[in-house]
Amino acid sequence: MTAGTATTHHALDWVNGTAPRLQERVRRIPPLAFVENCLRGVGQVMFMNNPLTGLFVLLAAWTFDPWIGFGGTVGVVVSTLVALLMGFDRGAIHAGLYGFNGVLCGLALATFLAPPWDGVATVWIVAVSAGSSIAMAALAALFGGAWGVPPFTLAFNISVLLFLITALHAVRGRVGELIVPTPPAVTGPTVSEALRESATSAAGTDLAAVVNAVLRGISQLFFVNSILGGILILVGILFCSRIAFGFALVGSAVGMGVGMALGADGTAIYNGLWGFNSFDACLAIAGVFYVLTWRSALLGIACAAYTALLFGAIASFLGPWGLPAMTLPFCFGVLTFVMLKDASPRLFTFVPPGEIETPEAHLRRARTVSA
Amino acid sequence: MTAGTATTHHALDWVNGTAPRLQERVRRIPPLAFVENCLRGVGQVMFMNNPLTGLFVLLAAWTFDPWIGFGGTVGVVVSTLVALLMGFDRGAIHAGLYGFNGVLCGLALATFLAPPWDGVATVWIVAVSAGSSIAMAALAALFGGAWGVPPFTLAFNISVLLFLITALHAVRGRVGELIVPTPPAVTGPTVSEALRESATSAAGTDLAAVVNAVLRGISQLFFVNSILGGILILVGILFCSRIAFGFALVGSAVGMGVGMALGADGTAIYNGLWGFNSFDACLAIAGVFYVLTWRSALLGIACAAYTALLFGAIASFLGPWGLPAMTLPFCFGVLTFVMLKDASPRLFTFVPPGEIETPEAHLRRARTVSA
Amino acid sequence: MTAGTATTHHALDWVNGTAPRLQERVRRIPPLAFVENCLRGVGQVMFMNNPLTGLFVLLAAWTFDPWIGFGGTVGVVVSTLVALLMGFDRGAIHAGLYGFNGVLCGLALATFLAPPWDGVATVWIVAVSAGSSIAMAALAALFGGAWGVPPFTLAFNISVLLFLITALHAVRGRVGELIVPTPPAVTGPTVSEALRESATSAAGTDLAAVVNAVLRGISQLFFVNSILGGILILVGILFCSRIAFGFALVGSAVGMGVGMALGADGTAIYNGLWGFNSFDACLAIAGVFYVLTWRSALLGIACAAYTALLFGAIASFLGPWGLPAMTLPFCFGVLTFVMLKDASPRLFTFVPPGEIETPEAHLRRARTVSA
């Protein structure tokens, strides 16, 4: 935050943007501050440094499936605690940067391990979330040192994929029915494009199917598969940034569109699997990492499309082991477009990771500079 | 180009080396300059910054199969246009550095998608070639920033492989018959070493088979499988550099030799699949990235052999998805040997990417410095 | 080595620590110096810059299987020779840094190729070991330049895996019976956890099985599968460092423990496959790369556990091609924890690669500095 913005004290600063007044107040009460930092960590999956965003995301997870909500909550708490114990950078921990991988680890393992509320599965959630904070610190040094960019959710992806692929051959692996190793084959000609909730359900009306695909495309980022979940998460984003809210919807729609253009499996599209990586990538490029202009809006849309292709590719690559693509497509998609920061300096204004606030704040700063 | 060489104005400068007079003249006529930059892009696949090299390569592609020639032409035009629109570095665009990935994307997709002259396949060629320019800019920043080396044809490989692996499971993927997913197995004992054009043809005389393997090993870099194609491409190289011409032949022969020494499939060797990565790697090391000496000539041969091993490995690794090795072996082979630049400074004189011209010009500069 | 330690001349300096007096003496006799450098190379697999460590490791290999001992010996000699011929850094060669990848290449190929004492297999050992020195120089530049960390045994892993995966489909590949491509599947529920020497042997008493797992976990780093081998290697480590000796045992036990906690295949655990990556990673973190404290001891244990998970994951990932995990888990595990050097500077004292000696020497230096 710049000195200039710190002097303005609106009542909205309790809930709006990065909610600076809320952070100031709870900082004096350690247990509250810890909870607040964890909630920011949940929001940071979408670059929303706001505890209310995180609260609405957790609400979406708990209402969709309490076991998944529990997994995510354990994940963010454990990963933030480990970061504190390891003495990692306090500023980063306060901004939630050691929580976003952990919450995703918990949500993912609660989704892919079985049965729910299992003690052993909970041990794995704790262990993998803890490991994700170590991986995050290492990857942040790797990416920051060489290229000045963050490692996004790579620590989550690596940690969970390492665990799941090991678990295939372990007695106590607790691998659930969603993990189905399948040998590669050319299945394109036999794929059913019809948008529908499951293979056995009837294809819905076009508009309803599209609404499902777009909103589930939001919720699937957190392993939640429901329209209500998508709406709750969007409301959470709204607290932090109206710009991000808009590009979340646009990005999810673009991801869906790429899947439909290619003729991908309609059930996967309906359930939001082509949308969740794209929406996060879209809002990251259009406003967060580049100051919003009509050019960076187009760049965000291009990044959403590129990320959708990456989803198709990585899901297909991991198919033989039965592993899901997780948010690897988002990581590589955003990394590619963020690395353009020095290639087109006249067209796009890059926001260095250390100066990221909200898309709205970036716009204000850019106008102040150019005025 | 150094100030010293710019003052010499031979008539040969219209066609020889980097053809500087040709570039000077067409620069004033935008449409001609664009065509010239695209042709340089085609030549840059082999580090030949000369539009005539590119012209002969396209001639080889069009005469081998007009649909493949069309694909390559669309690819180089689209990728160069996207680079202009994105405001990427003009000097790099003029030297063809935003064209070489695009032309390979077009040639590759025209080869692996089916049927020929299909509208949907053409859309994919346009989209993937466009994406390859974005990937190139990102990878150039990644590799240049951390290590001072170029990303070679990685952007092409990544873009096309991402598309093809996605296309396996897409209704409109247009995957052709060359993509055959095959589970890994130890097939060595059953492989037929006999050099022959196809599994059903008779094994030819030794000399004819070797000539086929070496010349098709040149043409296969551009997805052309013919002796005529190999000769046309070699003539194209001759315009730019006699040294590169020599090491292209040596490198293709070394790649073939490694394949034969291992006892690889004779049909693949006959059709040049063991040669195309090695020849490009050989000429890159022996003259382009290291000033030609007898030592760097040996290093180029070693790199050609190493690249051939990489071809065998990557083709085997990608077998389960039915994907081809593309030019990934070339990328990793050349990268490995280029990264030796600081390990043996007394034995090899490295030419930094920004100062690359032709092997002959590097020799002249090295002699001027040491004189 | 710092100026301060160089002035102390104990009689023990002939065999203890980095054996500086031995190195001083043999430096004047080139053939002896070469042998001494090769032996240091063998010890450097475990960061033990001491020729006696290397001697005991080779003793373990030769007594386990002369063909494997021969392979390792050829590997270290060839890779060190190639580094000398290529003009790589003399200091690094003298410390054995161009030998440790080569010895592993030789040991690995002697293990995985068949039949023993085969001429063609010996040619592959020579070629791959030679290539590993090129790869080492390139990777050292890649990792050192961008992050200031060494590439560990990545050159060995890459070189051997490239060869083996190519060899699957080559008439003269000489792939032995240990390479069994297997399609991925969820086998967890059917895995037998009982610790036993082979699938057909009876499960031993608990203590005997644990002793086997821990000691074979030491020897397996060098493709030796025996208790005697483990003891010989531990004795070799003792010459160089008592601290490393302790953490080798702890690390091997931690690796075994993680395997048992997950419920991995008991035969693999009994034969030390879950221990060899973890023990090397454990001693690297607890004493070599971080000055030994109770905190870095815990960090070493955490790294051993993380590396064990990586072993399970990489072995599972490479299963379709029938390839072993080699020491890739060690590489990625240690890299992750070494990259924490800047994330927790108050808790852990990092030893830069160029200043590495022995854990004991690091402790002495740290005490001198803080005194």
**pLDDT reported for residue A371:** 65
Q: Are residues B165 and B215 located together in one domain of the fold?
A: no
Is-contact A38 A80, C-beta < 8 A? yes
Q: C290: helix, coil or strand?
A: strand
**pLDDT reported for residue C4:** 44
Among the partner residues A134, A168, A173, nearest to C336 by beta-carbon distance: A134
Residue C108 placed within a domain: yes
- Identify the CA nearest to B209 among candidates B198, B223, B188, B195: B195
Q: Does residue C350 have a pLDDT over 80?
A: yes
Indicate yes or no: CB of B188 within 8 angstroms of CB of C165.
Answer: no
Higher pLDDT, B21 or B350: B350
Residue A269 placed within a domain: yes
Per-residue pLDDT of C172-194, as tens digits, reads 999 999 999 999 999 999 999 99
Per-residue pLDDT of A291-311, as tens digits, reads 999 999 999 999 999 999 999
Indicate yes or no: CB of C137 within 8 angstroms of CB of B343.
Answer: yes
Residue A4 placed within a domain: no
B113: β partners: B175
Q: Among residues A154, A179, A204, which one ends one of the domains?
A: A179
Separation in Å, CA of C147 to nearest CA in chain A:
7
Number of other CB atoms surrounding residue A116 within 10 Å: 15
Q: Which residues of B touch A317 (CB under 8 A)?
A: 165, 321
Per-residue pLDDT of B147-166, as tens digits, reads 999 999 999 999 999 999 99
Mutate to test the interface with B, among A309, A347, A348 (most CBs of B within 10 A): A309
Q: Which residues of B touch C181 (CB under 8 A)?
A: 183-186
Q: Does residue B4 have a pLDDT over 50?
A: no
Separation in Å, CA of B301 to nearest CA in chain A:
32
Indicate yes or no: CB of B168 within 8 angstroms of CB of A147.
Answer: no
Separation in Å, CA of A84 to nearest CA in chain B:
30
Q: Are residues C142 and C259 located together in one domain of the fold?
A: no
Please name the residues in contact with B166: beta carbons below 8 A apart, sequence gap of 6 or more.
A262, A309, A312, A313, A316, B173
DSSP code at position B286 = B
Q: Which residues of B touch C162 (CB under 8 A)?
A: 309-310, 312-313
Distance CA C315, CA A169 (A): 10
Per-residue pLDDT of B216-242, as tens digits, reads 999 999 999 999 999 999 999 999 999
Which residues numbered 293-312 in C keep a CB inside 8 Å of some CB on A? 302, 306, 309-310, 312
- Identify the CA nearest to B265 among candidates B183, B191, B178, B185: B191
Distance CA B35, CA B341 (A): 35
Among the partner residues A147, A264, A336, nearest to B135 by beta-carbon distance: A336
Distance CA C63, CA A49 (A): 61
**pLDDT interval class at B60 (50, 70, 90):** very high
Residue of A nearest to B174 (CA): A188
**pLDDT interval class at C282 (50, 70, 90):** very high
Residue B338 placed within a domain: yes
Owning domain of residue B14? 10-179
Distance CA B277, CA B280 (A): 6
Please identify every stretch of chain A with a pLDDT value under 50, giving residue numbers as ranges: 1-7
**pLDDT reported for residue A366:** 93
* Residue A198 exposed, middle or buried by CB count within 10 Å (0-12, 13-18, 19+): exposed
Chain B neighbours, 3+ Cβ pairs < 8 A? A, C
- Identify the CA nearest to B208 among candidates B187, B190, B224, B227: B227
Is-contact C325 A173, C-beta < 8 A? no
**pLDDT reported for residue C370:** 74
Chain A within 8 Å of B143 (Cβ-Cβ)? no
**pLDDT reported for residue B10:** 74
3-state helix, strand, coil in chain B (%, to 5): 70, 0, 30
Please name the residues in contact with A42: beta carbons below 8 A apart, sequence gap of 6 or more.
A53, A54, A55, A57, A58, A72, A76, A96, A99, A100, A103
The CATH code of the domain that includes A263 is 1.10.3430.10
Distance CA C245, CA C360 (A): 12
Phi, psi of C256 (to 5 degrees): -55, -45
**pLDDT reported for residue A10:** 75
Q: Are residues A196 and A323 located together in one domain of the fold?
A: yes
**pLDDT interval class at C371 (50, 70, 90):** low
Q: Are residues A256 and A301 located together in one domain of the fold?
A: yes
Sign of the torsion formed by the C-alpha atoms of A151, A153, A159 and A162? negative
Higher pLDDT, C3 or B143: B143
Chain B within 8 Å of C145 (Cβ-Cβ)? yes
Chain B within 8 Å of A317 (Cβ-Cβ)? yes
Among the partner residues B146, B188, B302, nearest to C173 by beta-carbon distance: B188
Q: Which residues of A touch B162 (CB under 8 A)?
A: 309-310, 312-313
Q: Does residue B5 have a pLDDT over 70?
A: no
Strand ranges for chain B from DSSP E: none
**pLDDT reported for residue B9:** 62
Q: Are residues B282 and B327 located together in one domain of the fold?
A: yes
Residue type, A134: I
HEC secondary structure over chain A: CCHHHHCCCCHHHHCCCCCHHHHHHHCCCHHHHHHHHHHHHHHHHHCCCCHHHHHHHHHHHHHHCHHHHHHHHHHHHHHHHHHHHCCCCHHHHHCCCCCHHHHHHHHHHHHHECCCCCHHHHHHHHHHHHHHHHHHHHHHHHHHHHHCCCCCCHHHHHHHHHHHHHHCCCCCCCECCCCCCCCCCCCHHHCCCCCCCCCCCCCCCHHHHHHHHHHHHHHHHHCCCCHHHHHHHHHHHHHHCHHHHHHHHHHHHHHHHHHHHHCCCHHHHHCCCCCHHHHHHHHHHECCCECCCHHHHHHHHHHHHHHHHHHHHHHHHHHHHCCCCCCHHHHHHHHHHHHHHHCCCCCCCECCHHHCCCHHHHHHHHHHHHC
Distance CA A38, CA A56 (A): 13
- Identify the CA nearest to A124 among candidates A76, A82, A163, A67: A163
Q: Are residues C193 and C318 located together in one domain of the fold?
A: yes
Per-residue pLDDT of C81-125, as tens digits, reads 999 999 999 999 999 999 999 999 999 999 999 999 999 999 999
Indicate yes or no: CB of C306 within 8 angstroms of CB of A89.
Answer: no
Which residues numbered 174-193 in B keep a CB inside 8 Å of some CB on A? 175, 179, 181, 183
Chain C within 8 Å of A78 (Cβ-Cβ)? no
**pLDDT reported for residue B200:** 85
Number of domains chain A is built from: 2
Output the CA–CA distances (angstroms, integers) from residue B257 to A83, B190, B212, B223, B272, in the order listed.
Answer: 54, 20, 13, 21, 11
Indicate yes or no: CB of B312 within 8 angstroms of CB of C172.
Answer: no
Q: Are residues A159 and A205 located together in one domain of the fold?
A: no
Output the CA–CA distances (angstroms, integers) from residue A97 to A1, A47, B257, in the order listed.
Answer: 16, 9, 53
Separation in Å, CA of B175 to nearest CA in chain A:
8
Residue C4 placed within a domain: no
Q: Among residues A152, A179, A206, which one ends one of the domains?
A: A179
Q: Are residues C151 and C282 located together in one domain of the fold?
A: no
Q: Are residues B218 and B159 located together in one domain of the fold?
A: no
**pLDDT reported for residue B371:** 65
Q: Are residues A160 and A209 located together in one domain of the fold?
A: no
Q: Are residues B106 and B217 located together in one domain of the fold?
A: no
Q: Does residue B90 have a pLDDT over 70?
A: yes
Q: Does residue C9 have a pLDDT over 80?
A: no
Distance CA B309, CA C163 (A): 7
**pLDDT interval class at C202 (50, 70, 90):** confident
Residue C1 placed within a domain: no
Distance CA C78, CA C68 (A): 15
Chain C within 8 Å of B341 (Cβ-Cβ)? yes
Mean of the per-residue pLDDT values of chain C: 94
Half-sphere exposure of A175 (CA within 13 A, CB side): 29
Among the partner residues C134, C146, C170, nearest to B336 by beta-carbon distance: C134
Judged by phi (left if over 0) then psi (alpha if -120 to 50, else beta), residue B184 lies in: beta
**pLDDT reported for residue A1:** 38
> What's the angle, vertex CA B362, arms to CA B359 and CA B367, rounded to 5?
130
**pLDDT reported for residue C5:** 47
Q: Are residues C30 and C131 located together in one domain of the fold?
A: yes
**pLDDT reported for residue B8:** 55
Is-contact C56 C224, C-beta < 8 A? no
Q: What is the ipTM of this complex?
A: 0.94
Residue B172 placed within a domain: yes
The residue-averaged pLDDT of B58-86 equals 98
Indicate yes or no: CB of C322 within 8 angstroms of CB of B193.
Answer: no
Half-sphere exposure of C235 (CA within 13 A, CB side): 13
Q: Does residue B277 have a pLDDT over 50?
A: yes
Residue B3 placed within a domain: no
